[in-house]
Structure 1
Amino acid sequence: MNKPQIYKSNALIKASYRLTPAEQRIMLACIAQVRRDKPITDEVLYDVTVADYAALVGTGSHSTYKELADAALRLKRREVWITERPNGEGSHEETLITGWVQSIRYRKNEGRIQLRFTKDMLPYLTQLTEQFTRYALSDVAKLTSSHAMRLYELLCQWRDTGHREVEIDWLRDAFQLGDKYPVLKDLKRRVIEPAVTQLNEHSPLWVKWEQRKTGRRVSHLVFTFGEKTKKIVQKTPKGKSRTGNIGKNHSTSGAMYGIPQSVIEKKAFPGESYDDAALRLLGESQHE
């Protein structure tokens, strides 16, 4: 059975908006239902049930209809700012301010809601032949941070290159952070580091990042990323093996870049950090 896929135009991927994780999941559950083989209108209704929502949240029976309905209502009130060049050419940019959803129908007795996309939103979701990004809905199912979800989409847009550099000011605007985290160290601690940690633990990508300066000011974030390899099989060593010096970048989940903690610890060189050892093993496995 094919996994539900998310298709978004690159203009929408780079748009400025803010959604909670619950609102993101509802939006993605609807986008995954969009038919790409024929035109659709803004009259089409998309269903999201409590079971659908619970499956995405991963909370099972703890999800309630009220939780779903409240998130849908908040989504109805959200704006998205989409900036692009007309016909994809020239230096002149135009910005469209629109909503995601034009109407909601509540069906409490059936444990589901129905949503209609706004008319302005449809071109960014349907009949996409170029300049779009695709990923599986399951790729973000375990992410609990809205920033992690957005970062995953931004990286997927450049999936073939494994490298993306973004201006910090642009990222603040795209995530609609406003006056939050004006100090860079707070932005890194509250937004970037948690998002990267979640992607490394719960997405198909491994991610590393660093800063780049313009003059004396840190102006850009540089992300290096790639597909996680299949689980590396650990061979049973003869006798007691020597464990390398695993640094403070240790992952609380016991894995990094898809490589189990036990494998990294067994194969780390003396003095090698946890992070560096994981990346070295990842590279070695890709060339086997």
Structure 2
Amino acid sequence: MSTPGNEGVTSVQVRQHNAITTARYEMSACEMDIVFALLSKLSSQDKPGTMYQVRVRELEMLTGRQWNYKQLLESTEQLNSRIYHIEDKAKVLQVGLLASAEYLKGKGIIELEISEKMRPYLIDLKSNFTSYHLQAALSLTSKFAKRVYQLVSQWKDVGHTKTYSLDEFKYMLNLKDPKGKEPEQYVSVADLQRYVLKVAVAQINERTDLNISYELLKSSRAYDRVKFFINAQEPKQLLIPFELPADDARAQMARKHLETMGIVDAKLVHEILGSPKLTEALFGFVYKLKTEKIKADKNPGGLFLKMNGLR
């Protein structure tokens, strides 16, 4: 699905059944990015057995992160084994997302096939869906931020979520096993806030079209429930120009990265964007900044220029 973005740029929305949004599953950030890219390609006109192609270069363009062959193979292998637990009043469905994943060597393409049991939740949506912006979902680096963003998007027209018990919230993020077979993660509320809630809120507010906050609620003396509050805001990240050729879209993202780092001198910008080597170095530098492999809190632009002999 797509909705008009600013200045003719298309802001792609992903839609998924609310049963999927609230399902319990575990995924890495890389797996989620592949899934978000896959969901953006779905159409209600698709037939069973449709193969969807996700291009590695497209993923890198969308996320600003670099994926190698080993990472992608591991992620698609994990996606083939991940199980969604979808429960309603009548049944509990345990289902995998993918029927198959195939990496085309030398082409940088992953071909993905959706399992037929999952298809109704993804394609036959009718009125029961969650929509969220693809570029926002991809811009988040924390897997918890990605999941919370999906969750709050389900309630964005209301302005707040329902009140979740902490157990229910942890089940959805796979931090707690309903059967008690796996050890619970972030048992203390302080750790849950520090490593999950605060990280998710900070990233969502900084990088997406939503501004959220949360409230922890007590029963007796102990915190045991959480509720999120949601407001719309102008997205801070660059809208992904899907209607442009990949090279043009990549150049637009590179220009935005330079602007964010304070590199606005026309001559420098022209030199960097005109050099494939420098452009690749730019995306690599941004990735290392995001993953904190490079520390440059005060002047990342100056550090980039110095590292590449431009200053």
What TM-score, normalized to structure 2? 0.67
Aligned to 2:60: 54
Aligned to 1:40: 47
The CA distance in 1 between the partners of 2:135 and 2:94, in whole Å, is 29
Asked if residue 209 in structure 1 is aligned to residue 209 in structure 2, the reply is: no
Asked if residue 109 in structure 1 is aligned to residue 106 in structure 2, the reply is: yes
Bigger mean CA deviation after superposition, 145-154 or 65-74: 65-74
Q: 1:23 aligns with which of 31, 39, 48?
A: 31
The CA distance in 2 between the partners of 1:17 and 1:207, in whole Å, is 23
Q: Which secondary structure does the structure 2 equivalent of 1:134 belong to?
A: strand
1:42-98 deviation per Cα after TM superposition (whole angstroms, max 9, x unaligned): x11111111122123212xx33233222211111111110112xxxxxxx3421001
Aligned to 2:154: 157
Distance 1:64 1:228, change over 3 A: same
Question: What fraction of aligned residue pairs are identical, expressed as a percent?
Answer: 30
Contact 1:162 1:226 (C-alpha < 8 Å) held by counterparts: yes
Q: Which secondary structure does the structure 2 equivalent of 1:110 belong to?
A: coil
1:223-279 deviation per Cα after TM superposition (whole angstroms, max 9, x unaligned): 112011589xxxxxxxxxxxxxxxxxxxxx9xxxxxxxxxxxxxxxxxxxxxxxxxx
RMSD across aligned positions (CA): 1.8
Asked if residue 14 in structure 1 is aligned to residue 22 in structure 2, the reply is: yes
Asked if residue 174 in structure 1 is aligned to residue 180 in structure 2, the reply is: no
Give 1:45-84 correspondences, 5 Å limit: 45-59=51-65, 62-84=66-88
Contact 2:34 2:59 (C-alpha < 8 Å) held by counterparts: yes
Distance 1:228 1:175, change over 3 A: same
Residue 56 of structure 1 aligns with an amino acid whose one-letter code is L
Structure 2 residue ranges without an equivalent (≥5): 1-8, 177-183, 237-259, 261-311
Structure 1 residue ranges without an equivalent (≥5): 85-91, 232-252, 254-288
Q: Which secondary structure does the structure 2 equivalent of 1:130 belong to?
A: coil
Q: Which secondary structure does the structure 1 equivalent of 2:47 belong to?
A: coil
The CA distance in 2 between the partners of 1:32 and 1:21, in whole Å, is 17
Q: 2:96 aligns with which of 74, 99, 118?
A: 99
Q: Which secondary structure does the structure 1 equivalent of 2:135 belong to?
A: helix
The CA distance in 2 between the partners of 1:225 and 1:173, in whole Å, is 22
Residue 56 of structure 2 aligns with an amino acid whose one-letter code is V
Contact 1:140 1:149 (C-alpha < 8 Å) held by counterparts: yes
Runs of at least 4 residues off by over 3 Å: none
Contact 2:43 2:123 (C-alpha < 8 Å) held by counterparts: yes
Q: 1:122 aligns with which of 119, 122, 127?
A: 119
Q: Which secondary structure does the structure 1 equivalent of 2:62 belong to?
A: helix
User: 1:39 offset after TM fit, Å?
Assistant: 4.9
Residue 72 of structure 2 aligns with an amino acid whose one-letter code is L
Aligned residues: 221
The CA distance in 1 between the partners of 2:132 and 2:150, in whole Å, is 8
Distance 1:129 1:216, change over 3 A: same
**Which structure features the higher share of helix residues?**
2
What TM-score, normalized to structure 1? 0.73
The CA distance in 1 between the partners of 2:156 and 2:21, in whole Å, is 13
The CA distance in 1 between the partners of 2:52 and 2:173, in whole Å, is 26
User: 1:127 offset after TM fit, Å?
Assistant: 2.4
Q: Which secondary structure does the structure 2 equivalent of 1:141 belong to?
A: helix
The CA distance in 2 between the partners of 1:100 and 1:229, in whole Å, is 32
